[in-house]
Amino acid sequence: MNILILGGGGVLGQKLALKLAANPTLKGQAITQVTLADVVDPPKIDAPFPVQTVTCDIADAASVAKCVTAQTDVIYLLAAIVSAHAEEDFDAGMNINLFGTYNVLERCRVLGIVPTVVFSSSIAIYGGEAQDPLGDHSYPNPQTSYGMQKAAGEMLINDYSRKGFIDGRAFRLPTVSVRPGKPNRAASSFMSSILREPLNGQDAICPVEADFLHYYISPRRCVENLVKGAELNAADIGQNRVMQMPGKTWSIAQVIEAMTAVAGTDPAKLIRWDPQPDIKRIVSGWRWDIHADKALRLGLKADDTFEDNIRYYLEDDKHTA
Amino acid sequence: MNILILGGGGVLGQKLALKLAANPTLKGQAITQVTLADVVDPPKIDAPFPVQTVTCDIADAASVAKCVTAQTDVIYLLAAIVSAHAEEDFDAGMNINLFGTYNVLERCRVLGIVPTVVFSSSIAIYGGEAQDPLGDHSYPNPQTSYGMQKAAGEMLINDYSRKGFIDGRAFRLPTVSVRPGKPNRAASSFMSSILREPLNGQDAICPVEADFLHYYISPRRCVENLVKGAELNAADIGQNRVMQMPGKTWSIAQVIEAMTAVAGTDPAKLIRWDPQPDIKRIVSGWRWDIHADKALRLGLKADDTFEDNIRYYLEDDKHTA
């Protein structure tokens, strides 16, 4: 089982590689190689199988051709320009999120290898006039270019699968929290930083009100779902390869309460409340009443409580901060 | 009002130009020029304003740059690789239907002209697991590459409009019947030829059963809606620029009865019933329980009876057969 992780230098890409290293089989077969590809050379990880790291710009078809080879069995397509970044830099978002996705799928078609392709879509595809609740078959009505690019990517995954060019599966990821590392250019970045920074004894800014509701998953559970996602039988998924990844809805107040329950009362005191109109404009187009019927039926899971999300951060990531 | 019709050599492009010539204003302003652009030089039409014809391959950004200029006020983006053709030739469909649409929108963005762009989408975006009835906000779940490309085009129209790069409006066209001319490579081509050929004293083949239901519009009414579509106020359309164009659902038996009611009993005798699995496989993924709430509210219209569709063909097109 030869696995390529595009976006292999990112938080999910790295955690996915570590998960595969800890349990080195996929789809019932031994993993023979993992390739971590990203725009900058990704950190290598320790694993019982060979790990290759390569630089790859998916916006460039020639670069993709070097990563996706006749030996590739499974592709995780996690590389993306995130929401606020794609909103500021329209070209970058189009080139990576839309044309990059096309380049990867097209390379698979040309090679004729029909790999399993796991595509990370996003709850940012929902929004606008579409009615709550939202789920697997809701109208994609993105309010950002990032959401549009992901929604178009879903359609490519479906059509390339229907045509037999790939064996695709696309999951609309909830917002991943607590995300380790530094704040990124996702508009949702604060949903991790208001927890992560205080847990590390640092100040954080909360740009929305305490009653702001959002749909979350922990990195640990997300990676478990990505592994499971590759292992699903195509026949069980059916004609439509796109589905919501399970998450749970919490208010800002609830995630802070969870932090306090796990880590005591000090961290929450480090949050400064400072409403920011630009962030609010983007995130208020997002939805929280989201249902993941198909994925739950297929065995993917949400976190049980947000206290778990806090604990996973402390166990898996705090030492890296 | 300087109008560019991409796909100006096609049935709808030509009829739209003739309609504009007969009533040479759009959005309350005099039409100063119409440019008919297509992959082969389009037939010129008589009009009270200058009519330019140009060859343009929208898959080629340089070719698009020659047609879309700083003077362009309104763009009708009707050029497309139709359903069965896009299914056979995946590259052609992607290059024209998806990347061609992108090239046109991108040219508008680079020029900064914010033209009104009227995009022809299709009921082929519906299908698969999505539930009936279908309408403006139904999940696009195309069962053909053509449908996928149109659904992705809708998203581009919405996002480019949201960003202020264009003033877009996209209409999911019902199957246009009775379409004049020769059969084309749309899987729906028989829905015109079983009427058109018999009305001209020629044999025709019906590849589906008499109870096959489908959602139709006449070319005359479709063009009226395309004119109206350009004239709608952006504020009235709202955030989502995509909507179903009104049509009506008829069975094959009903459209043949309508032909008989208008033209007597002879034409129907020229239809040979010959079920064709390839056509049936494509068209059975299409939907007929479609509702055009938004467009109807905005003043677009369906045909009253299919007898009108037959009469319009006899009045507008039979002489060209």
Q: Would you place residue A280 in the very low, low, confident or very high pLDDT band (cuts 50, 70, 90)?
A: confident
Which tokens belong to B13?
A: 């492009």
- Centre a 10 Å sphere on the Cβ of residue A274 and count the other Cβ atoms it contains: 9
Q: Which amino acid is at A216?
A: Y
* Nearest by CB: B137 against A130, A151, A159: A130
Q: Strands B248-251 and B213-217, how do they pair? A: antiparallel
* Nearest by CB: B152 against A143, A152, A163: A152
* Nearest by CB: B159 against A145, A155, A240: A145
Tens digits of residue pLDDT in A215-269: 999 999 999 999 999 999 999 999 999 999 999 999 999 999 999 999 999 999 9
- State whether residue A164 sits within 8 Å of chain B by CB: no
Position A136 scores a pLDDT of 95
In chain B, the residue whose alpha carbon lies closest to the alpha carbon of A146 is B159
* CB contact (8 A) between residue A162 and residue B140: no
Burial of A259 (0-12, 13-18, 19+ CB in 10 A): buried
Position B278 scores a pLDDT of 83
CA A150 – CA A81 distance, rounded (Å): 10
CA A94 – CA A85 distance, rounded (Å): 11
> Average pLDDT over chain A, rounded to whole?
96
Position A252 scores a pLDDT of 97
- State whether residue A138 sits within 8 Å of chain B by CB: yes
Which residue positions in chain B have pLDDT lower than 70? Answer: none
Provide, as residue numbers in chain B, all residues whose Cβ is less than 8 Å from the Cβ of A148.
155-156, 158-159
Tens digits of residue pLDDT in B110-144: 999 999 999 999 999 999 877 789 999 999 999 99
Q: Which of B100, B114, B84, B281 is nearest to B175 (CA)?
A: B84
Which tokens belong to B66?
A: 């020659």
Q: How many helices (H) and strands (E) does chain B have?
A: 13, 14
Tens digits of residue pLDDT in B211-249: 999 999 999 999 999 999 999 999 999 999 999 999 999
DSSP A95-123: IIIIIIHHHHHHHHHHHT---EEEEEEEG
Position B284 scores a pLDDT of 80
* CB contact (8 A) between residue B139 and residue A139: yes
Which tokens belong to B1?
A: 């009002």
DSSP B139-168: PP--SSHHHHHHHHHHHHHHHHHHTTS-EE
Cis peptide before B178 (omega within 30 of 0): yes
Which tokens belong to A169?
A: 């599966």
* Nearest by CB: A239 against B128, B156, B239: B128
ipTM field: 0.95
Best residue in A141, A155, A161, A162 for a mutation probing chain B (most B CBs within 10 Å) = A155
Q: How far is B141 from chain A (nearest CA, A)?
A: 8
* CB contact (8 A) between residue A141 and residue B143: no
Position A185 scores a pLDDT of 82
- State whether residue B159 sits within 8 Å of chain A by CB: yes
Which tokens belong to B129?
A: 């697991």
**Number of inter-chain CB pairs under 8 A, A vs B:** 67
In chain B, the residue whose alpha carbon lies closest to the alpha carbon of A135 is B139
Residues B241/B170, Cβ–Cβ less than 8 Å: yes
CA A83 – CA B10 distance, rounded (Å): 39
Which tokens belong to A267?
A: 């961290």
Q: Which amino acid is at A320?
A: T
Q: Which of B146, B160, B215, B313 is catalytic?
A: B146
* CB contact (8 A) between residue B137 and residue A129: yes
Phi/psi at B243 (5° precision): -155, 160
* CB contact (8 A) between residue B130 and residue A152: no
CA B310 to the chain's CA centroid: 18
- State whether residue A59 sits within 8 Å of chain B by CB: no
| CATH number of the structural domain B2-174+218-246+289-303 | 3.40.50.720
Tens digits of residue pLDDT in A104-159: 999 999 999 999 999 999 999 999 877 789 999 999 999 999 999 999 999 999 99
Domain boundaries, chain A: 2-174+219-246+289-303
Q: Which of A76, A146, A215, A313 is catalytic?
A: A146
Position A257 scores a pLDDT of 98
Tens digits of residue pLDDT in A11-62: 999 999 999 999 999 999 999 999 999 999 999 999 999 999 999 999 999 9
Q: How far is A50 from chain B (nearest CA, A)?
A: 36
Q: How far is A2 from chain B (nearest CA, A)?
A: 28
* Nearest by CB: B129 against A109, A163, A239: A239
Cα angle A193, A195, A197 (rounded to 5 degrees) comes to: 60
* CB contact (8 A) between residue B137 and residue A137: no
CA A122 – CA A133 distance, rounded (Å): 16
CA A12 – CA A180 distance, rounded (Å): 10
CA A70 – CA A91 distance, rounded (Å): 30
In chain B, the residue whose alpha carbon lies closest to the alpha carbon of A242 is B141
Can A146 be counted among the known catalytic residues?
yes
- State whether residue A281 sits within 8 Å of chain B by CB: no
Which tokens belong to A225?
A: 């779902």
Extended strands (E) in chain B: 2-6, 25-26, 29-30, 33-38, 51-55, 74-77, 116-122, 167-173, 175-176, 204-206, 213-217, 242-244, 248-251, 271-273
* CB contact (8 A) between residue A140 and residue B140: yes
CA B26 – CA B31 distance, rounded (Å): 6
- State whether residue A143 sits within 8 Å of chain B by CB: yes
- State whether residue B90 sits within 8 Å of chain A by CB: yes
Q: Which of B228, B219, B242, B209 is nearest to B308 (CA)?
A: B219
Q: How far is A106 from chain B (nearest CA, A)?
A: 10
In chain A, the residue whose alpha carbon lies closest to the alpha carbon of B87 is A163
Q: Does A84 have pLDDT greater than 90?
A: no
Which tokens belong to B138?
A: 């139904």
Position B242 scores a pLDDT of 98
Position B88 scores a pLDDT of 93
Q: Does A282 have pLDDT greater than 90?
A: no
Residue A112 CB contacts under 8 Å (≥ 6 apart), including other chains: none
* CB contact (8 A) between residue A240 and residue B128: yes
CA B85 – CA B145 distance, rounded (Å): 10
* CB contact (8 A) between residue A129 and residue B238: yes
* CB contact (8 A) between residue A129 and residue B158: no
Phi/psi at A122 (5° precision): -150, 155
* CB contact (8 A) between residue B163 and residue A145: yes
Domain A2-174+219-246+289-303 architecture: 3-Layer(aba) Sandwich (3.40)
